[in-house]
Amino acid sequence: MDARTSSATRRAARGKRASAMAGAVKLTHPDRVYWADADVTKQDLADYYGKVWKWMRPHVVGRAMALVRCPEGISGQCFFQKHAQAGIPTEFLHLVPEKGDKIISIDDLDGLVALVQGGALEIHLRGSTIDDREHADRLVFDLDPGPGLDFGDVVEGAREVRARLKRVKLKSFVKTTGGKGLHVVVPLKPVPWAVAKDFTYKVALSMEKDDPKRYLATATKARRNNRIFVDYLRNSREATAIAPYSTRARTGAPVAVPVDWSELGSLKSANQYTVLNVMQRLSKLRKDPWASMARVKQALPKFR
């Protein structure tokens, strides 16, 4: 392509593809730009999810979702949505009644592409399945760095969480968030939410007590400088965390990506993987770093 050809011309060419279909879902305005800085359109996003679906599917199907929708792209208005509303083709979704509303869930790739059609640029998940929303089967520790810290500090914090979990015989997994931090994820035999939250709080509090100059168990703004907030608050019934392989509504079209613990030392940032480069990573992997997660059935022990 001639270097003088503009991004707008390239987007127009993409919009004239023979079909704007993605499975059974009809994309309207497939050339609509969602990330202008990365030149990523609605069609590009649907195509991306089609490519990563086999990696993403085990972690999103049958789980309650919340969305960040930006129908005009990240340069327009964005809003957080916990329940089904107008603007998304609901015939492709699995909607679950709850307290007069309907929780969003999906069963297949068509459901995910329907969310793309509705401008969902972030997909967040509860730590429970739609069939048992009263119990947690995933714990999430969100390592959120305050001003003055770099990504190496976040890596050290994630490793510290892992070490403390190992002491009580819990296996954990890690992913980048597409933002500044890392998530340490723990698959579990289902436990009541109160038990899950109490456990994660105790882990976070133990880190603060042992190293108060580096870790916080509360999001006290005045104390955030040079400290990592070990966010345990995602472990409650309706709290959510960014889904594996979900995009983020941030510049560059970054993606939250599962990684192996052995990879942390070579990562440059929590947002280095994007819609434009994550397939290069996946094509080179010998195995899925989260492949064993579904087989891990571990009881939540007491943490002292």
Report the amino acid identity of residue 246.
Answer: S
What rounded mean pLDDT belongs to the chain?
92
Quote the pTM value. Answer: 0.91
Partners of 255 in the beta sheet? Answer: 247
Q: Kindly provide the b/e burial profile for residues 234-244, where b requires at least 16 CB atoms within 10 angstroms of the residue's own CB.
A: bbbbebbbbbb
- pLDDT single digits (tens) 159-209: 999 999 999 999 999 999 999 999 999 999 999 999 999 999 999 999 999
| CB neighbour list of residue 115: distance below 8 Å, 6 or more residues apart | 67, 88, 93, 104, 106, 123
Q: DSSP label at 79?
A: E
Q: Which domains does the chain have, with CATH numbers?
A: 7-132 (3.90.920.10)
pLDDT tens sequence across 45-97: 999 999 999 999 999 999 999 999 999 999 999 999 998 877 788 899 999 99
Q: Band of the pLDDT at 16, cuts 50, 70, 90?
A: very low
Percentage of the chain lying above the pLDDT 90 cut: 84
Task: Please write the tens of the pLDDT for every residue from 209-218.
Answer: 999 999 999 9
Closest CA to 234 of 140, 124, 136: 140
Phi, psi values for residue 289, rounded to 5°? -65, -20
